[in-house]
Amino acid sequence: MKLTDEIARRRTFAIVSHPDAGKTTLTEKFLLFGGAINVAGAVKSNKIRKTATSDFMEIEKQRGISVATSVMGFDYGEKKINILDTPGHQDFAEDTFRTLTAADSVIIVIDAAKGVEAQTRRLMEVCRMRKTPVMVFVNKMDRPSRDPFDLLDEIEEELKIQVHPLSWPVGTVNDFRGVYNRYESVFRSFSGHTKQTIGEITEHSDLQNEEFKSYIAPHAEKLEEELELIEGVYAELDMEEYMQGKVAPLFFGSALNNFGVKDILDCFIQTAPSPGPVLTEEREVLPDEQKFSGFVFKIHANMDPKHRDRLAFIKVVSGQFERNKAYSHVRTGRQLKFSSPTSFMAEKKSVIEIAYPGDIVGVHDTGNFKIGDGVTEGEKLHFQGMPSFSPEMFRYVENADPMKFKQLAKGLEQLMDEGVAQLFVSLANGRKIIGTVGALQFDVIQYRLEHEYAAKCRYEPITMFKACWIESDNKVKLKDFRLRKYQQLCTDKEGREVYMAESPYALDMARGKFPEITFHFNSEF
């Protein structure tokens, strides 16, 4: 198959949402309908013992939340689908933001009872900034939920995007019958003894059919009225506007009970974009270029705790990636060969010979890669948009077991490379400080250090407001700043100077007294 054909059949997308909206459950059902798994797991359930495929880390299984992005690739019909299931919790937002740089489109999951929540708004802002095409899935329609029309209004107002309902719910809560697919003009309902399999599908394409009317009674008349109203309010879906991220096709359903899952999946593979051009500092890179290029958007240590392996996730941008071929690591200039590049189904990996634009390739990493690194056939390309943001919570980290000093040092180094948090070293006393965007990250780091590296750490409180990367062309003023603020200066993992402001007042005073110094709130400057 030609390179252009391989590009055209690929769909690489991220599933994002506020915590508990049902994003991982929807991912699980996509895998089920795509034939990638035979039995769907659950994020948290007393009856279903199989955990979700994408929640493969032990802490994810215990807590019932996603704490790291999972990559899952499978074939659906003639299309190759790559799903990036992201953490919803705001404490892991940085992982999600970086993942969006590798996604060509996004599905936003919204809880039908809660509507648009804070984290959903932030994620939509990132999509808008990158002009990423968005689809919306309103989940949990089988539970007490808001009126569908009210939800449409709220989504448009809160997410600042036009929506276009391509499916419509029939009934609510205990009387929820199924979903009418306006895109294909068909009603589907699922029934089965278990929520872990697809079960039996009931389909009707004729709304005037008496059998159908009796099946959805007493909702037949209401459905007809609501569909007429939608036809009058919403014009035909403009695909060009969807591609530009101006309008979002919207689907209703219940991921847990399979309602609406096939509808959004079928529509998605037909309408969502295949891999497109990517902007670098040097130029725009087109996917159908003959030479390979790609970038590292994620690093994960210990995907398989038995082997202590560390993997770098590379998004293929152009050309084709080949096993055992020498590629240039742009930042260091080194030539690297990858003998066992892998494709993913969460933590399950299989060695591949070749990968095309849109694919996510895992390569074994001995510490060469950092997030944002470019890999090419020789051209120096620097990919944009993957900064580390200024942390908002800080703690001193101390070794709780003197016999495990090396294990702790290695564990901290590898976990910080993943981008889950940032490590700073105080110039004044040499103590290590961990900075995160949320408190839950500290628990995850502590847990993973103990269970993956056999190292124990303890935290000590520190009064800190903000970490700011500093730079200045005025060497005299910079030297003066270093002398005056020596107690508050640290270095980050790359050896760059960071000013740790103790309070908003201290930061304002420093900026006022030293106007020649630039204070950066992310590491990409």
E strands in 462-512: 466-471, 489-491, 497-501
E strands in 215-373: 247-252, 278-279, 284-285, 293-301, 310-318, 321-322, 326-329, 335-337, 342-345, 348-351, 354-355, 360-364
Same domain, residue pair 172 and 257: yes
Same domain, residue pair 283 and 408: no
519 pLDDT band, cuts 50/70/90, is: very high
Question: What is the rounded average pLDDT of the residues 275-280?
Answer: 90
pLDDT value at residue 36:
61
Number of folded domains that form the chain: 3
311, part of any domain: yes
Angle at 211 between CA 207 and CA 214, to 5 degrees: 90
Same domain, residue pair 18 and 114: yes
**Dihedral (C-alpha) 43, 165, 132, 349: value to the nearest 10 degrees?**
30
Instruction: Tell me the CATH number at 484.
Output: 3.30.70.3280
- 95-132, pLDDT tens digit by residue? 677 778 888 999 999 999 888 887 788 788 878 887 88
Question: What is the rounded average pLDDT of the residues 186-211?
Answer: 70
Q: Within 13 A of 318's CA, how many CA atoms are on the CB side? A: 22
> Measured between alpha carbons, how far is residue 418 from residues 20, 201, 489, 522 in Å?
24, 43, 24, 16
Instruction: Tell me the CATH number at 153.
Output: 3.40.50.300
d(CA 274, CA 287): 10
346 pLDDT band, cuts 50/70/90, is: very low
Determine which helix (DSSP H) or strand (DSSP E) holds 266, and give its type and residue range: helix 261-271
d(CA 244, CA 256): 31
d(CA 325, CA 377): 9
14, part of any domain: yes
Same domain, residue pair 418 and 461: yes
Kind of pairing between the strands at 162-165 and 247-252: parallel
Q: Do the Cβ atoms of 56 and 70 come closer than 8 Å?
A: yes
158 pLDDT band, cuts 50/70/90, is: very high
176, part of any domain: yes
132, part of any domain: yes
- Asked if pLDDT for residue 436 goes beyond 50, the answer is yes
Same domain, residue pair 499 and 411: yes
Same domain, residue pair 289 and 223: no
Taking residue 422's Cβ as centre, other Cβ atoms within 10 Å add up to 22
Q: Within 13 A of 465's CA, how many CA atoms are on the CB side? A: 8
Same domain, residue pair 46 and 159: yes
d(CA 270, CA 105): 13
Give me the DSSP letters along 236-261.
Answer: ---HHHHHTTSEEEEEE-BTTTTBTH
190 pLDDT band, cuts 50/70/90, is: low
pTM of the entire predicted model = 0.77
Tokens of 363: 């390569």
C-alpha closest to that of 459 among 435, 438, 437? 435
388, part of any domain: no
End-to-end CA distance of the chain: 42
Range of the domain at 457: 393-520
The more confident residue out of 341 and 69 is 341
| Mean of pLDDT over the chain | 82
Taking residue 304's Cβ as centre, other Cβ atoms within 10 Å add up to 12
Question: What is the rounded average pLDDT of the residues 367-372?
Answer: 83
364, part of any domain: yes
Same domain, residue pair 409 and 312: no
Same domain, residue pair 207 and 80: yes
Tokens of 452: 């993956």
C-alpha closest to that of 135 among 6, 273, 233? 273
Taking residue 221's Cβ as centre, other Cβ atoms within 10 Å add up to 11
Q: Do the Cβ atoms of 311 and 363 come closer than 8 Å?
A: yes
61 pLDDT band, cuts 50/70/90, is: very low
382, part of any domain: no
**One-letter identity of residue 40:** A
Last residue of a domain, one of 238, 254, 271: 271
- Asked if pLDDT for residue 275 goes beyond 90, the answer is yes
Same domain, residue pair 63 and 174: yes
Same domain, residue pair 446 and 349: no
- Asked if pLDDT for residue 374 goes beyond 80, the answer is yes
Same domain, residue pair 246 and 303: no
Last residue of a domain, one of 332, 347, 376: 376
Last residue of a domain, one of 271, 299, 326: 271
Tokens of 387: 């900064």
Coil, helix or strand for 452? helix
Q: Please, what sign has the CA dihedral across residues 499, 504, 506, 510?
A: positive
pLDDT value at residue 49:
39
The more confident residue out of 523 and 491 is 491
Total residue length of the chain? 525
Question: What is the rounded average pLDDT of the residues 372-392?
Answer: 81
d(CA 469, CA 309): 32
381, part of any domain: no
Flag the least confident range among 68-77, 196-205, 424-433.
196-205
Q: Do the Cβ atoms of 151 and 115 come closer than 8 Å?
A: yes
